[in-house]
């Protein structure tokens, strides 16, 4: 009797429509967006891009200003060392070489800090844009009746009527009139000292 009930329940479950077990997925209504165009042509993005390029140019100019005199001094020190033909340099030359090494290290650290700041600034700009784009995607999809949005570079082909790039660009220009191009300073992390017993 038990086997008969188990068999009957298996048959009933197989006969019931699968819709009872899972809801049907609606047909995909796809929209495509050209993110490269959006992020290169939005008004705030253009301004931020110019500011970031200016920061990079400033770094390059600072690098030239630091490296030129260091190279000249380094060559002069090397020439003085070569002129000794293996003899021990005097205290003045040793001090000069140590001072040059210190300046070289300081210059490298300064340039590295500036480069890291520029990278942080670039990431901060990207984050501000991405934070605004998320809600814009949803709004554009809802307004255009789409339930899927795909970056145009990820598609093999698409019809022009599916392209919502201009909608996204217009909405981004409205939602993001300006972008800060200097990342906020990292908050200093409190250092905890191990407590003694």
From first to last of the 197 residues of the chain, give the pLDDT tens digit: 455 445 444 454 554 555 455 678 888 889 999 999 999 999 999 999 999 999 999 999 999 999 999 999 999 999 998 998 888 989 999 999 999 999 999 999 999 999 999 999 999 999 999 999 999 999 999 999 999 999 998 888 888 889 999 999 999 999 999 999 999 987 444 445 555 54
| CA atoms of 48 and 126, how far apart (whole Å) | 10
Instruction: For 60-177, list the strands marked E by DSSP.
Output: 148-151
Q: Do residues 140 and 174 touch, judged by C-beta distance below 8 A? A: no
| CA atoms of 104 and 54, how far apart (whole Å) | 25
Q: How many residues does the chain have?
A: 197
Instruction: For the chain, list the strands marked E by DSSP.
Output: 30-33, 148-151
How many helices and strands in the chain, by DSSP H and E? 5, 2
pTM of the model: 0.74
| CA atoms of 26 and 85, how far apart (whole Å) | 84
| CA atoms of 137 and 150, how far apart (whole Å) | 10
């Amino acid at each position: 009797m038990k086997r008969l009930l188990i068999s009957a329940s298996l048959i009933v479950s197989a006969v019931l429509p699968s819709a009872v077990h899972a809801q049907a997925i609606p047909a995909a209504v796809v929209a495509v967006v050209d993110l490269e165009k959006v992020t290169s042509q939005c008004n705030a993005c253009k301004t931020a891009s110019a500011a970031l390029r200016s920061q990079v140019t400033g770094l390059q100019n600072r690098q030239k200003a630091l490296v030129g005199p260091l190279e000249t001094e380094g060559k002069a020190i090397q020439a003085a060392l070569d002129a000794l033909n293996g003899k021990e340099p005097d205290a003045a030359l040793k001090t000069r070489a140590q001072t040059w090494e210190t300046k070289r290290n300081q210059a490298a650290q300064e340039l590295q800090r500036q480069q890291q700041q520029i990278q942080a600034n670039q990431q901060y700009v990207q984050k501000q844009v991405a934070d605004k784009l998320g809600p814009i995607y949803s709004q554009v999809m809802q307004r255009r009746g789409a339930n899927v949005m795909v970056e145009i570079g990820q598609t093999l082909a698409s019809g022009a009527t599916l392209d919502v790039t201009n909608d996204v660009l217009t909405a981004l220009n409205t939602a993001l009139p300006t972008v800060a191009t200097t990342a906020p300073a990292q908050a200093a992390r409190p250092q905890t000292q191990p407590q003694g017993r």
